[in-house]
């Protein structure tokens, strides 16, 4: 059988609220997630039964036991009852340590590929359960689109997606590890559920201006990265209706109602921030 290929779409957090902390140390959240057209590409080829390997064209992506594709594939074979092997290749475009879910979406694409490659016929719900073993964002990335995520990210409710728009995604070089971001939030004593309720109303209304005015991320104010504030201010000055950091950062996105303005903004930003992309919202993936 020849290899299969699958796009792995990045995600942004239109909102991210931290709602508590469980006894096991994991934080609970309430977040509105949206898939975007920026994507990696994951390839699956046959391999000797019991063998799973991962290769990537980006030197800074670990391909050993910590790789999310490897973890997801291992969980698939354990949980599905399928006997087989797999060789994965990843073409990387989503930047790492950006809050864009690059590792999670690669793992979700790997699960979709395995399901198709081996004819396992697992439902999206079953793939989400398997994906949670590889990471908290993987269940959302299995189908993508737009969704309200709760719990540690595994409780999902589909939502109306972003109205038609163009996004500029810009990642400054600076960043904060996710564990440090959570620790900074814990120290801040800030309230944990302030953004998402208003965003749900805005998405139901369907007006881009309303959505853009209700973006919010609990990490953005506590991590205090000057580069993030600088990128956000540049996006707004270029005509973005709203701008916000995604995940634990450090990528920042801006929502534009004009593709021309968005393109001019991206070109201007690239002079200082080379990791800058134009993209659009993406709907749900059929599993």
Q: What angle (nearest 5°) sits at the alpha carbon of residue 58, between those of residues 75 and 171?
A: 100
Residue 279 tokens read as 């993209």
137 included as an active-site residue: yes
Sorted by sequence, the CB contacts under 8 Å of residue 184 that are 6+ apart come out as: 176, 219, 222, 223, 224
**H or E segment and range at residue 150:** strand 146-151
171 included as an active-site residue: no
Q: How far apart are CA 284 and CA 287, in angstroms?
A: 9
Q: How far apart are CA 92 and CA 106, in angstroms?
A: 9
Residue 55 tokens read as 């290769």
Q: Which of 2, 11, 24, 89 is catalytic?
A: 11
SS3 content of the chain, % helix, strand, coil (to 5): 35, 30, 35
Q: Which of 171, 197, 242 is nearest to 31 (CA)?
A: 197
Structural contact between residues 43 and 4, judged by C-beta atoms closer than 8 angstroms: yes
Could you tell me whether strands 146-151 and 27-47 are parallel, antiparallel, or unpaired per DSSP bridges? antiparallel
Sorted by sequence, the CB contacts under 8 Å of residue 28 that are 6+ apart come out as: 18, 19, 20, 21, 22, 150, 151, 152
Neighbours of 78 (CB within 10 A): 11
β-sheet bridge partners, residue 30: 17, 150
| Alpha-carbon separation of residue 26 from 89, 132, 210, 246 (angstroms) | 31, 13, 32, 19
Q: Which of 17, 40, 106, 137 is catalytic?
A: 137
Annotated active-site positions, please? 11, 137
């Amino acid at each position: 059988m020849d290899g299969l290929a699958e796009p792995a779409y990045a995600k942004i957090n239109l909102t991210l609220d931290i709602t508590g902390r469980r006894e096991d140390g994991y934080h609970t959240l309430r977040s509105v997630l949206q898939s975007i057209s920026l994507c990696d590409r994951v390839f699956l080829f046959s391999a000797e039964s019991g063998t799973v390997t991962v290769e990537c064209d980006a030197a800074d992506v670990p391909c050993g036991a910590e790789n999310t594709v490897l973890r997801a594939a291992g969980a698939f074979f354990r949980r599905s009852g399928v006997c087989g092997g797999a060789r994965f290749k990843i073409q990387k475009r989503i930047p790492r340590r950006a809050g864009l879910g690059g590792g999670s979406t690669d793992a979700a694409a790997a699960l979709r590929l395995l399901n198709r490659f081996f004819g396992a016929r697992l439902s999206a719900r079953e793939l989400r359960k398997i994906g949670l073993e590889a990471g908290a964002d993987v269940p959302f990335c299995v189908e993508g689109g737009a969704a309200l995520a709760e719990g540690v990210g595994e409780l999902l409710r589909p939502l109306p997606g972003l109205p038609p728009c163009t996004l500029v995604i810009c990642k400054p070089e600076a960043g904060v590890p996710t564990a440090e971001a959570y620790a900074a939030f814990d120290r801040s004593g800030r309230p944990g559920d302030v953004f998402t309720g208003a965003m749900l109303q805005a998405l139901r209304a369907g007006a881009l201006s309303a959505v853009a005015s209700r973006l919010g991320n609990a990490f953005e104010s506590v991590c205090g990265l000057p580069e993030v504030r600088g990128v956000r201010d540049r996006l707004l000055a270029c005509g973005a209706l709203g701008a916000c950091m995604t995940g634990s950062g450090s990528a920042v996105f801006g929502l534009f109602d004009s593709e021309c303005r968005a393109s001019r903004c991206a070109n201007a930003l690239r002079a200082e921030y080379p990791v800058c992309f134009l993209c659009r919202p993406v709907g749900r993936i059929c599993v």
